[in-house]
Chain A
C-alpha cells in the first residue's frame, strides 16, 4: 500500500524521506567524511579517485564533481550533508542555497534582503510562482528564449 506523502506536490522542493535517505546513504556518508581535514585534502587532490572509494552511483559522483546540488538532492543527497562539500570549497550556506535557484550570488542575496521568496504561487505544483519548473532557471540566467 502506498505511504502518505502529501509533500510531493510542493514545487522546487525534495523532502528527505526514508526513500531518499536509502538512495543517498553512501553519497551523504561521503559528504560526512569531509568533516575531517585529512579527507578534505585527499578529496581536493584527486576528487574522482576519492569518490571512487565510495559505493556511490556514477550519477551521484558526476553530481558531486559538477557541484550540481539539485542533481545531488534528486539522487538522495540532503542539504545538511551536501553542505560539507560547500565547506570544503569555502562556500557559505547562502552561496550553496542560491546555487540551486540559478540566480547569481548577488541576486539571491538581494532577494533575501528584500524579504525572501514569496510563498504566493509556490505552494502547489502547477501555480505560477518563481519556484515552478517552467520558470527555471531564475534571475539573469533566464534570458528570453532560454
Chain B
C-alpha cells in the first residue's frame, strides 16, 4: 500500500524563484537562504519519494475571482509553470499522478471534505519555488522534476480562509486516503507558504521572529495546539499574509503521530532566516518513525 513517510514545510517566496532563475544564489543577500536548503537537497536524493502531495496556494494565477475554491486537488497528467506577469519560470513541466490524485479525491470527499477537482491548471511560484528549493536546478540533459506531484491548492487569499483546525483534520483524511491506495508508493507531503509577512498597507514588511519560532516549536511537538491558533492571531502577530501558515497544518495532520500517539516524528532539519524579500523563511523536515 501507499504510505506517507515524511513531511516538508517551507516558504515559497517568488523572489527566491527569481534569484534561482537569474543565478543570484551566491550573492550575499541570498546565500544564507539557499544555505538552509543544502541539507534538504541531499535528503531528497537519499529519500527519493515516488510522489509528492504539494499543498500550496494560487496567487491570482490559475484562479481569478470568477471561482474561488477553498480546497482544490489537481488530477491532471501535467501542469505548466504559469506566466505570473514576469514570464513563466524556466523550470520543468510538473508531472501529475492522476491515479493517486483521483483516489485521494474520492476518499477525502467521502470523509466530508468538499474538494474541487481540477483537471486543467497552471501552477505558480507557490508550487514551483518549493520544488526548486528542495530539488535544485534540474540538469539540462534530464530536465524534469524527480517525481510526480499531486498539487493541492488552498484558498488563503480571500477571507475567510479555512481554519487551522480544519486544515489539520484534512491532513488526517489525506493520510487515510493515501493508505487505502493499493500501489506501493513512498509519498511525501509538503506544506508551503509563510512564515510571517505582510504585503499590503502601511504595516507592510511586518516580521515576527518570536511568533514564527514558537509556531515551529508547536508544529513539531504539539501540532494540535498549533491547529488551535485562530485566524486573528496569524493576522495580528504574523501579518495578513502570514495566514498562509494554515497550509502547513495539512501536511502536519498527515503524519502518523497525529493518529497514533506512541509514534513520535523525527525532526531531520530546521531552518529560519529573515528576510527573503518581504518574508521570513521557515523550513522543517519531519519523518515518521
Chain A positions near chain B (C-beta within 8 angstroms) = 6-7, 10-18, 21, 24-25, 28-29, 31-32, 34-35, 69-70, 73, 78-81, 83-84, 86-88, 92-94, 96-98, 100-102, 108, 111-113, 115-119, 122-124, 131-133, 136-138
Contacts and interface: CB of A to CB of B under 8 A. Distances in A.
B162 interface: no
A79 B200 contact: yes
Contacts of A116: 196, 205-207, 274-275, 278, 280
Given A87-B85, A97-B278, A16 B159 contact: yes
A87 B196 CA distance: 23
Contact of B274 (A18, A86, A115): A115
30 contacts: A7-B159, A10-B203, A10-B235, A14-B200, A15-B240, A16-B157, A18-B158, A18-B159, A21-B65, A21-B158, A28-B64, A32-B60, A73-B200, A78-B157, A80-B60, A83-B59, A83-B60, A84-B85, A86-B85, A96-B199, A97-B205, A100-B200, A100-B202, A101-B202, A108-B205, A112-B205, A115-B207, A115-B275, A116-B275, A116-B280
B277 A13 contact: no
A17 B231 CA distance: 13
Interface in B182-203: 196, 198-203
A12 B199 CA distance: 11
B60 A28 contact: yes
A91 B61 CA distance: 17
Nearest to A96: B199
Contacts, number: 159
Contact of A12 (B157, B201, B211, B274): B201
Interface range, B side = 35 or more
Interface of B: 14-15, 29, 59-61, 64-66, 83-86, 157-160, 196, 198-209, 211, 231-232, 235-237, 240-241, 274-275, 277-278, 280
A108 B202 CA distance: 11
B60 A102 contact: no
B158 A136 contact: no
A12 B203 CA distance: 5
Contact of B275 (A73, A112, A119): A112
A132 B277 CA distance: 23
Nearest to B159: A17
A93 B59 CA distance: 12
B232 A98 contact: no
A123 B205 CA distance: 14
A64 to B, nearest CB: 15
